[in-house]
Structure 1
Amino acid sequence: MSNLFRQFLQKVGSGNHTGENLTRTEAATATKMILLGEATPAQIGAFLIAHRIKRPTADELAGMLDAYNELGPKLQPIATEKPVIVFGIPYDGRTRTAPISPITALLLATVGQPVVMHGGDRLPTKYGLPLAEIWQGLGVNWTSLSLEKTQQVFAETGIGFVYTPQHFPLINSLWEYRDQLGKRPPFATMELIWCPYAGDVHIIPGFVHPPTEALFQSTLGLHNITKYTLVKGLEGSCDLPRDRTAIIGLSSPTGEIERLHLAPRDYDIPAKNVPLGTTEELLTEMQAVLAGTATELMETALWNGGFYLWRSGISPDMRSGIATAKELFMSGVVADKLKQLSQLSRVSCQLSVVNGQ
C-alpha cells in the first residue's frame, strides 16, 4: 500500500464537511501513481469512485493533464500555418446516433486544416462504436501503426490518430476499473481535453452537462490553451446535433466564452439526427457521402462540415461553409483524401511489420 496515495484518497473521499480538493501537483502525482501501478487496486478503485462523487476541480484536471503530458505520447509539430485541430471525443464511443467526425476530419484535411484524433477500442462504460473501428472500416487501420509511422502519415495527409492501446499503454489498466465501477471517473472528463500534439492547437472537445463547459474553460486556461471550441454535441462528442439548437462555446481574446447558438432550420438543414444502425450500415452511408450522394447522413456532414470550415477560418460564414462542404463532397476530392490516407497508412503498416515496429 502507498501511504502517500492513501493521503490523497483521504482528501477526496472524506465527504462534504471534511473532504478537501487536491492541488494541481497532488493530482498530477496521484495520476502518475495510478498509471505506474504504485497505488494498490483497492486504493485506485476507491479513489476513482470517490473523485467522481466529489467532482473534479479545474486544478485537479490540470494536474491530471500534467501527468498525461509527462507520461503519454505526443505527435510532433508539422509544417502548417494553422493551429492543428484536436477533437476530444468520448473513448467509450457511440450507441444511439451516427457519428460524422471522421468525415469531418477528411473534409478539413482536404482544404489544409490538419486534424488529430485519439481513442481506443470498444471500451466501458458504454462499449459503443469507437473512432478506430470506423476508420478501419473506411480502410485506414491506425491500430497497426507505430507512433513514428503515425507521425509520417500525419505529416503527409494532415490527419493523425493517437491509438491509445498501443501509443499510451499505461492507461490500459484503467479500463478494468471503469468496467467494474460502471461509471466514468473524472479521467474520462480530462481525456476530452487531453492534447497529444506538441504544436499550436485548437482544442475541440464535446460535452453533455453544462457545468463541464466552465470546467473546461478554467482547466484549459491553466494550461495556457487559448484557442478552443466547446460543443454540447451528440452523446458528448463534438458532432453538432440536428434535432435541437447547437450550443457552442467559443474562445475569445478576452478569455471569456462567447456563446453561439446554431439552429439547423435557419440553414435549411432538416431537424433530425441520423440514428446509428449497424456498423456496416454506417460505413455504407459514409461512403455515399464521400461519393456525393444526397442522403440523411449527407445533411449531417454538411451541417458539421459547414461549421468547422467556418470555425477554422476557411469559410467566412456558416452558409458559405455549408456550400463549400457540399462542393467538396460532390467534386470527389474528399474521397481522394481518404484514398491517399488509406494507401499511405497501408504502406506504413507494411513497413512497420517489415521493420518489426
Structure 2
Amino acid sequence: MSHAFRELLRKVGSGTHTSEPLTREEAAAATRMMLLQEATPAQIGAFMIAHRIRRPTGTELAGMLDAYETLGPRLQSIAAAHPVTVLSVPYDGRSRTAPLSPLLALLLATANCPVVSHGGDRMPTKEGEPLIDYWRGLGIDWSQLSLAQVQHVLESTGIGFLYLPSHFPLAHGLVPYREQIGKRPPLATMELLWSPYAGETHLVSGFVHPPTELMFQEAIALRGITHFTSVKGLEGSCDLPRERTAIIGLGAPTIGFERLTLHPRDYGFEGKNVALEATPTFVEAMLTVLAGQPSELMQSTLWNGGFYLWRCGSCRSLEAGIQEAKRLLTEGLVLQKLRDLQQAATPLQLAH
C-alpha cells in the first residue's frame, strides 16, 4: 500500500462537504503513482470513483497532464507549414454516429496541415469501435509500428497515431479499472487535452457538457496552451454536427478565447448526422468519399473539412475551406494521400 497515495485519496474521497481539490503538484503525483502502479488496485479504483463523483478541477487536469508528459511518449517536432493539429476524441468510441477523424486527418494532411491522434482498443464504458480499427480497414495498422516508426510516418506523410497498448503501456494498464468501476474516470476527460507531440500544436478537444469546456480552459491556461479549439461535437468528439448548431471555442495568442456558433443550414449542410455502421461497411463508405463520390458522409466530411481547413490556417474563410475540401476530394488528392500513407507504413508493418 502507498501511504502517500492514501493521503491524496483521503483528500478527494472524504465526502461532499469535506473533500478538497488537489493541487496541481498533488494531482501529478497521484497520476504518476497510478501509472506506475505504486498505488494498490484498491486505492486506484477508489481514487477514480471518488474523483469522478467530486469532479476534477482544471488545476487537477493540468497536474494529470504534467504526469502524462513526464511518463508518456512524445513524437518529436517536424518541419511543417502549420502547427500539428492534435485531434483528441473519447477513447471509448461512438455508439450512434459515424466518426470522421480518419477522413479529416487525410484531408488536412493533404493540405499540409499535419495531424496526430491517439487511442487504444475497444474500451469501457461505451465499448465503441476504436479508431485503430478504422485505420486498419484503410490499410494502416498503427499497432504494428514502433514509436520511432510512427515518427517516420508523421515526418513523411503528415499523419501520426499513438496506440496506447504499445506506445504508452503505462496508461493502457489503467484501462481495466474503467470496466471495473463502470464509469469514465477523470482520466477520460484529461485524455481529451493530452498532446503527445513535442512541437507547436493546435489542440482540438471535443466535449459534451459546458462545465467540461470550462475545465478545459482552466487546464490549458495553466499549461500555457494558447492555440486550441473546443467543439461540442458528436458524442464528445471533434466532429461538427449537421442536425444542430455547432458550438465552438477558439483560442489563439492574438484573440484569447472567442465563442463561435455555426449553423449548418447557412452553408447548405443541414441534415441528419451519418449513422454508425459496422466497420467494414463504414470503411467502404469512407473509400467512396475518398473516390470523390457524393453521399451523406461526403457532405459531413465537406462540412467538417471546410471548417478545419479554415481553422488550421490553410484557407482564409470557412467558405473557401469547404470549396478546397471539395476540390481535394473530387480531384483524388486525398485518396493519393492515403496511398502515400500506405506506402510509408506498409513496409514498416511487414518488418514488425
1:274 aligns with 2:298: no
Conserved? CA contact 2:81–2:112, under 8 Å: no
1:114 aligns with 2:114: yes
Letter in structure 1 aligned against 2:175? W
Q: How far 1:316 sits from its partner (Å)?
A: 1.2
SS in 2 for 1:170: helix
Identity of aligned residues (%): 60
Q: How far 1:17 sits from its partner (Å)?
A: 1.8
CA distances 1:269-319 after superposition (whole Å, capped 9, x unpaired): 132101001111111110000000000100000000000011011111111
Q: How far 1:320 sits from its partner (Å)?
A: 1.3
How many residues are aligned here? Answer: 352
Which residue of the partner structure matches residue 50 of structure 1?
50
Q: How far 1:118 sits from its partner (Å)?
A: 0.4
| Whole-angstrom CA distance in 2 between matches of 1:325 and 1:49 | 43
1:148 aligns with 2:142: no
CA distances 1:74-133 after superposition (whole Å, capped 9, x unpaired): 000011131110011000011110111110110010010000000011111111011111
Conserved? CA contact 1:226–1:255, under 8 Å: no
1:303 aligns with 2:303: yes
Letter in structure 2 aligned against 1:323? Q
Which residue of the partner structure matches residue 192 of structure 2?
192
| Whole-angstrom CA distance in 1 between matches of 2:94 and 2:20 | 35
Q: Any residues of structure 2 matched to 1:284-299 within 5 Å, and which?
A: 284-299=284-299
CA distances 1:207-239 after superposition (whole Å, capped 9, x unpaired): 111111111111011111100000000010001
Letter in structure 2 aligned against 1:152? H
Conserved? CA contact 1:305–1:322, under 8 Å: yes
| Whole-angstrom CA distance in 2 between matches of 1:154 and 1:253 | 26
| Whole-angstrom CA distance in 1 between matches of 2:122 and 2:138 | 17
Conserved? CA contact 1:270–1:299, under 8 Å: no
Which ranges of structure 1 fall in alignment gaps of 5 or more residues? none
Q: How far 1:254 sits from its partner (Å)?
A: 6.1
Higher mean displacement: 29-38 or 247-256? 247-256
CA distances 1:125-184 after superposition (whole Å, capped 9, x unpaired): 111011111000011110100000110000000000011110000112211110011100
TM-score normalised by structure 2 residue count? 0.98
1:258 aligns with 2:244: no
Letter in structure 2 aligned against 1:214? L
Which residue of the partner structure matches residue 340 of structure 1?
340
| Whole-angstrom CA distance in 1 between matches of 2:306 and 2:189 | 27
Conserved? CA contact 1:94–1:235, under 8 Å: yes
Which residue of the partner structure matches residue 89 of structure 2?
89
Letter in structure 1 aligned against 2:131? L
SS in 2 for 1:257: strand
| Whole-angstrom CA distance in 1 between matches of 2:253 and 2:148 | 35
| Whole-angstrom CA distance in 1 between matches of 2:270 and 2:245 | 12
Which residue of the partner structure matches residue 72 of structure 1?
72
| Whole-angstrom CA distance in 2 between matches of 1:83 and 1:315 | 14
Conserved? CA contact 2:227–2:253, under 8 Å: no
1:324 aligns with 2:324: yes
Which residue of the partner structure matches residue 283 of structure 1?
283
TM-score normalised by structure 1 residue count? 0.97
| Whole-angstrom CA distance in 2 between matches of 1:243 and 1:130 | 24
Higher mean displacement: 315-324 or 248-257? 248-257
SS in 2 for 1:98: coil
Q: How far 1:346 sits from its partner (Å)?
A: 0.6
Q: Which runs of 4+ in 1 moved over 3 A?
A: 252-256
Which residue of the partner structure matches residue 243 of structure 2?
243
